[in-house]
Amino acid sequence: MTLPEAVHFGENDLPFIDIGDGSQLKVLQVKRGEGLWIIENIFQAGYEVEQHKHTGPVWGYTSSGAWKYREYDYVNRAGSFLYEPAGSVHTLQCVEDNTRVWFQMYGSNINLGPDGNITSVVDGQLTLDFYLAMCEEQGLPRPNVLVE
């Protein structure tokens, strides 16, 4: 019997792409059958993700900087761990430059406009497709993202 092997990515094995305002995205893993997607972001102060809710749970870990949800009083700072249950609604706002956050998500993000209507739906596959296209557009080598 062959045992499965661990998979390792060094810090620079997968590139970050520019997603606007100096903020960046890296896709680490997508497990299509489980609806899992793991990403890492580096946000700059003032970067905002439109209001959204998740169809599955989300875990976030902040390793530097600070960000918050407009709807809550707490601020996520270096060392903060965040759990978001499925169905929670929030608007991510970055409050410090070079804020680095790792997210593990299941399901989809349902993005909401100011009137509460759905503007778009994003999942792991769509994020992976965007990431790979932006790597190509930005002249980065095609990353070997862990995809199952």
Give domain status of residue 147, yes or no.
no
Domain membership of residue 141 (yes or no) is no
**pLDDT of 1 over the 90 cut:** no
* Edge-to-edge strand ranges of the sheet holding 89-90: 89-90, 52-54, 109-112, 118-122
Kindly report the average pLDDT of the chain as a whole number: 96
Average pLDDT of the segment spanning 1-13 = 88
Residue 142 within a domain: no
| Those residues with Cβ within 8 angstroms of residue 54's Cβ, 6 or more apart along the chain or in another chain | 84, 86, 87, 88, 105, 106, 107, 108, 109, 110
Instruction: Specify if 139 maps to a domain.
Output: no
The total of structural domains in the chain comes to: 1
**Which domain CATH number covers 50?**
2.60.120.10
11 band by pLDDT with thresholds 50, 70 and 90? confident
pLDDT (mean) for 114-132: 96
Whether 26 shows a pLDDT value over 90: the answer reads yes
Q: Per the domain annotation, does 100 fall within a domain?
A: yes
Mean pLDDT in residue range 106-119: 96
| Residue 3 to residue 73: CA distance in whole angstroms | 47
CB 112 within 8 A of CB 52: yes
Q: Is residue 8 part of a domain?
A: no
**For residue 91, what are the domain limits?**
17-134
Full-model pTM: 0.93
CA 48 to chain centroid: 13
Is residue 108, in this structure, part of any structural domain at all? yes
Is 54 inside any structural domain?
A: yes
